[in-house]
Amino acid sequence: MLFLYRFFLGVLEIEVYGIYPEKMLNLCEKHKISVWDIRFQKGKICCKINVKDFKKLPKIFKKQGVRLHILKRWGLPFFTNKYKRRFGVFAGLLIFVFMLNFLSSFVWVIEVRGNKIVSDFEIINDCQKIGVNEGITTKGFDAKNKAQELLLLSDRLSWASFNIEGCVLTVDVTEITPKNEGEFLASNLVADSDGIIKHIDVTVGNCVVKVGDTVKKGDVLVSGIIEDENGTKFVKSRGKIIAETVTVTEASQNYTVKESVLTGKQKTKTVLEAFSFKIPLYLGMEKCEYESNYSAKNLKLFGNAIPIRLHKKRFIFKEMREVKLSFDSACERLTKQIEEKYPNAEIKKEFSDNYTFATIHAKIYESRDIAISQNLIFNINKTPD
């Protein structure tokens, strides 16, 4: 506080010299004038004093044989005096204060919190539909009604709230937990393919097969009907039935193929977005085939995000070329297709060459869970009276 007080009054660093410069200290004490940072240098006294008290010194030191010399000036009065004829400085300061106050009354950034399944993009897009976007004024913003409008528009949110913190609008949401419609329906577990049972792990239901049994596609593995001394119960069967299955398949690969090949040419296009207004910084559209990657970056001012965003999309151009494959290359492609489809299986392969294309004949041996759920269907036939 003392620093600010002295800054607003203005401070002078002075030196006092003459016959008896020490008189200066006694006279200042007598007239209750405050001086500080006192230093003695070769018959001179240097110190600091505020402008108001300095104006009293000439009258006090009159006929005392003491002289004063100003070394430095510091404080607000000297700063304003230096620029008092430069009206543009003060006008700019007033405009800055006005613009700062004016811009602080708008929403600059929208942030979404609490979402896991629904993306930020979807929620912000719904907010824009109800008139909540970057650039709206914070004055008169009805957060409660806008939250209700957002819930009516989105069927994936159970609760929403808008909160304004400075220039940042935060959308806090709670998502609706999806329910499985068949969760409480009674069901069997049936085989989705032929196989030999290798392992059984049933948690709910009546298992009707055992290890070593051979089953066919559609056979009931675990029944959802349980009968005991209390009667008949209907349950949703749960469990795993691991079986060894054999799948026979074949595929062909033509020796002449057309492939999309990268040409090495690239182009980046930029879009400037400010307060939800998008300005493309490019001309024309790309008609050639391409791969692309997208990135967006918020500009920052003094470490804080501002509602100006740069969207960049990089185009990597491709073209169609005709490629001739050898028999070995065609077989490699066919093998890769089978292995990608059955990653954990044992595959026995045979290849044949038909001049224009290669063919793979494969038997896929794999151990997997063959149990799939099938809802129980009840037929109730009423006998007429």
Contact assessment for residue 348 and residue 363, using Cβ atoms and an 8 Å cutoff: yes
Q: List, by residue range, all CATH 3.10.20.310 domains of the chain.
A: 109-175
- 201: Cβ contacts below 8 Å, ≥ 6 apart: 239, 240, 241, 242
Dig out the tokens for 150 from the structure.
């957002």
Superfamily covering domain 109-175:
membrane protein fhac (3.10.20.310)
Q: Is the pLDDT of residue 334 over 80?
A: yes
Q: Residue 35 corresponds to which tokens in the numbers above?
A: 């001086």
C-alpha–C-alpha distance, residues 51 and 48, integer Å:
10
* pTM listed for this prediction: 0.43
Phi-psi region of 264 (alpha: psi -120 to 50; beta: other; left: phi over 0): left
Residues 71, 11: contact at Cβ < 8 Å?
no
Query: Which tens digits make up the pLDDT trace of 116-132?
Result: 888 888 898 899 899 88
| Cα dihedral 141, 146, 147, 153 in deg (nearest 10) | -160
Domain(s) of CATH 3.30.70.260: residues in the chain:
2-80
pLDDT value at residue 181:
52
Tell me the backbone φ, ψ of residue 134, rounded to 5 degrees.
-65, 130
Q: Which of 66-70, 108-112, 289-293 has the lowest mean pLDDT?
A: 66-70
pLDDT band at 183 (very low <50, low <70, confident <90, very high): low
Res 173 pLDDT > 90: yes
Short-list 38, 14, 13, 12, CA closest to 25: 38
Q: Calculate mean pLDDT across residues 99-115.
A: 85
In this predicted structure, which of 139-143, 168-172, 365-369 has the lowest mean pLDDT?
Answer: 139-143
User: What CATH class has 2-80?
Assistant: alpha beta
pLDDT of residue 381: 52
pLDDT tens sequence across 223-266: 988 887 778 888 889 999 999 999 888 889 888 888 888 888 89
Q: Which residue from 31, 33, 39, 32 is spatially nearest to 13, judged by alpha carbons?
A: 39
Task: Give mean pLDDT, residues 79-99.
Answer: 79
C-alpha span between 382 and 362 (Å, rounded): 52
Separation of alpha carbons 193 and 217, rounded Å: 4
The model's pLDDT over 129-151, given as tens digits with 9 standing for 90+, comes to 998 888 888 888 888 999 999 99
